[in-house]
Chains A and B, each alone.
Chain A
Amino acid sequence: MQYDHIVVRYGELTLKGKNRKIFTTKLGENVREKLKGFSNIKVNKNRDRMFILLNGEDPEPILEKLKDVFGIGSMSVALKTENDEAAIKNAALELLTKKENVKTFKITTKRSNKEFPIGSQTFNHVLGGYLLSNTNDFTVDVHHPDLEIHVDIRNDATYITSEKILGAGGLPVGSSGKTLLLLSGGIDSPVAGYLTMNRGVQLEAIHFHSPPYTSERAKEKVLDLAEKLTYYGKNIRIHMIPFTALQQKIHREVPHGYSMTVMRRVMLKISEAVAKEENILSITTGESLGQVASQTMESMHAINEVTNYPVLRPLVAMDKEDIIKISEKINMYDISIRPYEDCCTVFVPKAPKTKPRLEKVLQFEAHLDYEQEIKELLANKEVIETSSLRKKSKEFDDLL
């Protein structure tokens, strides 16, 4: 018995009409990129399916990697046998008895090779009968089987597949353009990034840091999060914004109750400027309605006023508990809870307004001239690519 290939079925993108090719091409690229390390395999695709020819590679680690590729609906491993009744029977028996939690099965034969002497209907019965008489605990259920065994008898060989392994769903990363993610280092923003990637969006990230008020460790934490996010998509560029001077100015000149609101507005304004520069069409945040003072309806209203850009908030209606669950699932949580202060917590006023009024905000801002500072910090921003991080961490990895 030998695994021959993996069948990859497309997810939601099969709903796409004429644009489908754009999506399948993207998915093909992403799958090839993800499986770069497996030198023997070959990826073929057509309109409806993708086939990963194993050429001797073990399918398990490949499936493990593909589970996190957005755009895949499901996957199955196919066995290859000769077009020989006994060989097919043996392979099907091994396949059935190796599966756990299976009590009922069903056989579906397709026979495109008409030289094979037994018709597909008859062969269903022949094979089913063979499996029943050589096992003890199984029964046939043609309506709701635990395991459906597909036997595909073709000219070159017979291919047998069974269970479907669920893919990540969603759309292939890169098929829906780019967004600029406000990445803070907390629990929410990486999850927001992950969820937009699920919709086929490629990420760039922006982070505001205020050395020496924020530490190198806080910066590293953000870079680690970005690096983890690349696992679900592509390389991410991170725009590190030196925020200290401007933050001090806001802290100094805006009444404390409103300094947080103004700071958020400025952050969004800077994000918009970076997005424009990079031809990115939207901004994504990890905001969740009512979670903190800056995320009340009133705050969102007062903050959002500063931009015309679409601000995507994938977590807006999610409970914290559910956000944490995703964070744990995608291995971000342990990084997110590292206890370093970010720029939003170092200058936080004792009692930020939870219901800021826009006209007051505008009034305070009228006296605050920050255009010059924004220009300067945009000129001084540092852009870091996750690919370069990997080189840096290689020194450590070699020690281990």
Chain B
Amino acid sequence: MIYFDNSATTKPDPNVLDSFIKVTQDFYGNPSSMHDLGKNAETLLRKAREQIANLLSVSNDEIIFTSGGTEGNNLAIKGIALQHQARGKHIITTQVEHPSVLLACEALEELGFQVTYLPVDNYGRISIEELENSITNETILVSVMYVNNEIGTIQPIEEIAAITNKYPKLFFHVDAVQAYGKIPINLNIDGIDFSTLSGHKIHGLKGTGLLYIKNGTILFPLLHGGGQEMKVRSGTENVAGIVALAKAMRIQLDHLNEDQKSLVEMKSELLRAIEKIDGTVVNTPTENAAPHIINFSIPRLKPEVVIHALEEHGIYISTKSACASKSPDKSSVLVACQKNDEVSRSGLRISLAYSNTLEEIKYFNQKLALVVNQLRKGIR
């Protein structure tokens, strides 16, 4: 099996899974319990938090553990909107965000907030000037993803932070779910107030993730209760999942430091082969794009058909983001990039992990050419 759908989810690392099982079995105490079992769980939780803070170069009390990317994005956006609506009711985001950002914003529109959805250029990138021009006295939040989940575009996060930093009441949230471990990211810069990460995209487990919250920023909680996670996110801590997250993050960062080249190499090998096939359109930008996502269209071939044909050769890739949107047959990200209807309808996404190999890429390239050739015979 060749698994190239790592932006949808990843296979848990066996070492991560070992930790998860061991903690679940041996350290199942509630960290809030007074006794020894509780103390051990609390110590583990603290150590995991310290390690993660260290990996991100932020402070321990700036990490809030969540159930994943969707929760992190919702907590940042709704948490700011509800807490700080007295300062203004305007939010800026982009047209190419993950649905957990877009639909959280749409929900807030129903509560009386105004949302600006910034357009993007052909490469999926927003314009800094347009962003700055959209900021009004009423704006309280800017939310922009670091790496686009469908086409891999890297947004100019540091430039955006330089702008949001000029406006004291403006918060900036970065959805870094697809960025962590794939490109070097620095959350600890002036202007960035929140960032969302997810465990299962980096060989951790589903149901794990975190929101980085810059010190002193107050959010309206989505979950009220026992006051865990500095009262921002109540609920008994998922200690085993959090330990697994800490381990997955450490391993992923090691890979970034040592193996990023291999991702880049695999990606260019793929691009070379895809471009060789007549009529294909590569949607992933050549510059400022993450090294693990390749999006391309084969006009006039239905993407589901290509996917199933590849599946017969044991290859797993995907179409647009697994999370659907308004127009069911087109990718809203590709539409936002002003791709024509045919290209928007036929987008395919390959997303790599460090565990993939050049051999797999070569096998894939061969099979892709074969499959396209066969399928094209079937259309007039």
Contact of A217 among B39, B47, B60, B247 (CB under 8 A): B39
Contact of A400 among B36, B42, B51 (CB under 8 A): B51
Given contacts A396-B43, A400-B48, A400-B51, contact A216 B36 (CB under 8 A): yes
Neighbouring A residues of B43 by C-beta, 8 Å: 220, 396
Q: Could you tell me if A400 and B19 are in contact, using CB atoms closer than 8 angstroms? A: yes
| Contact of B250 with A by CB under 8 A | yes
Neighbouring A residues of B22 by C-beta, 8 Å: 399
Q: Could you tell me if B39 and A400 are in contact, using CB atoms closer than 8 angstroms? A: no
Q: How far is the CA of A393 from the CA of B46 in the complex (A)?
A: 12
Q: Could you tell me if A400 and B34 are in contact, using CB atoms closer than 8 angstroms? A: no
Contact of B246 among A216, A217, A400 (CB under 8 A): A400
| Contact of A397 with B by CB under 8 A | yes
Q: Could you tell me if A399 and B247 are in contact, using CB atoms closer than 8 angstroms? A: yes
Q: Could you tell me if A400 and B60 are in contact, using CB atoms closer than 8 angstroms? A: no
Contact of B60 among A216, A334, A397, A399 (CB under 8 A): A334
Within 345-400 of A, Cβ neighbours of B (below 8 Å) are at: 393, 396-397, 399-400
Q: Could you tell me if A216 and B44 are in contact, using CB atoms closer than 8 angstroms? A: no
Count of A residues near B, CB < 8 Å? 10
| Contact of B23 with A by CB under 8 A | yes
Q: How far is the CA of A262 from the CA of B325 in the complex (A)?
A: 73
Neighbouring A residues of B36 by C-beta, 8 Å: 216
Q: How far is the CA of A216 from the CA of B35 in the complex (A)?
A: 8
Q: How far is the CA of A220 from the CA of B46 in the complex (A)?
A: 13
Q: How far is the CA of A400 from the CA of B47 in the complex (A)?
A: 8
Within 85-122 of B, Cβ neighbours of A (below 8 Å) are at: none
Q: How far is the CA of A216 from the CA of B39 in the complex (A)?
A: 8
Give the shortest distance, in Å, between A382 (CB) and chain B (any CB): 17
Contact of A399 among B23, B42, B61 (CB under 8 A): B23
| Contact of A215 with B by CB under 8 A | yes
Query: How many residue-residue contacts, CB under 8 A, span A and B?
Result: 29
Give the shortest distance, in Å, between B250 (CB) and chain A (any CB): 7
Given contacts A396-B47, A400-B48, contact A215 B34 (CB under 8 A): yes
Within 225-258 of B, Cβ neighbours of A (below 8 Å) are at: 243, 246-247, 250
Give the shortest distance, in Å, between B335 (CB) and chain A (any CB): 43
Contact of B44 among A215, A217, A334, A399 (CB under 8 A): A399
Give the shortest distance, in Å, between A334 (CB) and chain B (any CB): 6
**Which residue of A is nearest B240, CB measured?**
A399
Q: How far is the CA of A397 from the CA of B46 in the complex (A)?
A: 11
Give the shortest distance, in Å, between B342 (CB) and chain A (any CB): 49
Neighbouring B residues of A400 by C-beta, 8 Å: 19, 47-48, 51, 243, 246-247, 250
Give the shortest distance, in Å, between B22 (CB) and chain A (any CB): 6
Q: Could you tell me if B39 and A399 are in contact, using CB atoms closer than 8 angstroms? A: no
Q: Could you tell me if A220 and B39 are in contact, using CB atoms closer than 8 angstroms? A: yes
**Which residue of A is nearest B247, CB measured?**
A400
**Which residue of B is nearest A335, CB measured?**
B46
**Which residue of A is nearest B44, CB measured?**
A396
Q: How far is the CA of A336 from the CA of B357 in the complex (A)?
A: 48
Q: How far is the CA of A396 from the CA of B42 in the complex (A)?
A: 11
Q: How far is the CA of A396 from the CA of B246 in the complex (A)?
A: 12
Q: How far is the CA of A216 from the CA of B29 in the complex (A)?
A: 15
**Which residue of A is nearest B38, CB measured?**
A217
Give the shortest distance, in Å, between A4 (CB) and chain B (any CB): 25
Give the shortest distance, in Å, between A142 (CB) and chain B (any CB): 37
Neighbouring B residues of A215 by C-beta, 8 Å: 34, 39
**Which residue of B is nearest A219, CB measured?**
B39
Give the shortest distance, in Å, between B49 (CB) and chain A (any CB): 10
Q: How far is the CA of A215 from the CA of B35 in the complex (A)?
A: 9
**Which residue of A is nearest B53, CB measured?**
A334
Give the shortest distance, in Å, between A390 (CB) and chain B (any CB): 13
Q: How far is the CA of A280 from the CA of B36 in the complex (A)?
A: 34
Give the shortest distance, in Å, between B160 (CB) and chain A (any CB): 24
Q: How far is the CA of A61 from the CA of B19 in the complex (A)?
A: 29
Neighbouring B residues of A217 by C-beta, 8 Å: 39, 42
Q: Could you tell me if B39 and A397 are in contact, using CB atoms closer than 8 angstroms? A: no
Within 98-148 of A, Cβ neighbours of B (below 8 Å) are at: none
**Which residue of B is nearest A217, CB measured?**
B39
Binary interface encoding of chain A residues 210-227 relative to chain B, with 1 for a CB under 8 A from any of its CBs, else 0: 000001110010000000
Q: Could you tell me if A397 and B34 are in contact, using CB atoms closer than 8 angstroms? A: no
Neighbouring A residues of B61 by C-beta, 8 Å: 334
Neighbouring B residues of A397 by C-beta, 8 Å: 47
**Which residue of A is nearest B250, CB measured?**
A400
Neighbouring A residues of B246 by C-beta, 8 Å: 400
Neighbouring B residues of A393 by C-beta, 8 Å: 47
Q: How far is the CA of A334 from the CA of B46 in the complex (A)?
A: 11
Neighbouring A residues of B60 by C-beta, 8 Å: 334
Within 44-65 of B, Cβ neighbours of A (below 8 Å) are at: 44, 47-48, 51, 60-61
**Which residue of A is nearest B35, CB measured?**
A216
Q: How far is the CA of A334 from the CA of B47 in the complex (A)?
A: 12
Neighbouring B residues of A220 by C-beta, 8 Å: 39, 43
Within 189-240 of B, Cβ neighbours of A (below 8 Å) are at: none
Q: How far is the CA of A239 from the CA of B43 in the complex (A)?
A: 22
Give the shortest distance, in Å, between A339 (CB) and chain B (any CB): 12
Neighbouring B residues of A216 by C-beta, 8 Å: 36, 39
Neighbouring A residues of B250 by C-beta, 8 Å: 400
Neighbouring A residues of B243 by C-beta, 8 Å: 399-400
Binary interface encoding of chain A residues 77-99 relative to chain B, with 1 for a CB under 8 A from any of its CBs, else 0: 00000000000000000000000
The contact sample of 17 A-B pairs, CB cut-off 8 A, is A215-B39, A216-B36, A217-B39, A217-B42, A220-B39, A334-B61, A396-B43, A396-B44, A399-B23, A399-B44, A399-B247, A400-B19, A400-B47, A400-B48, A400-B51, A400-B243, A400-B250
7 tightest Cβ-Cβ pairs between the two chains A and B: A399-B19, A400-B246, A400-B51, A399-B243, A400-B247, A217-B39, A396-B47
Q: Which B residues are within 8 Å of any A CB, using their own CB?
A: 19, 22-23, 34, 36, 39, 42-44, 47-48, 51, 60-61, 243, 246-247, 250
Apart from A220-B39, A400-B243: 12 A-B pairs, beta carbons within 8 A: A215-B39, A216-B39, A220-B43, A396-B43, A397-B47, A399-B23, A399-B243, A399-B247, A400-B47, A400-B51, A400-B246, A400-B250
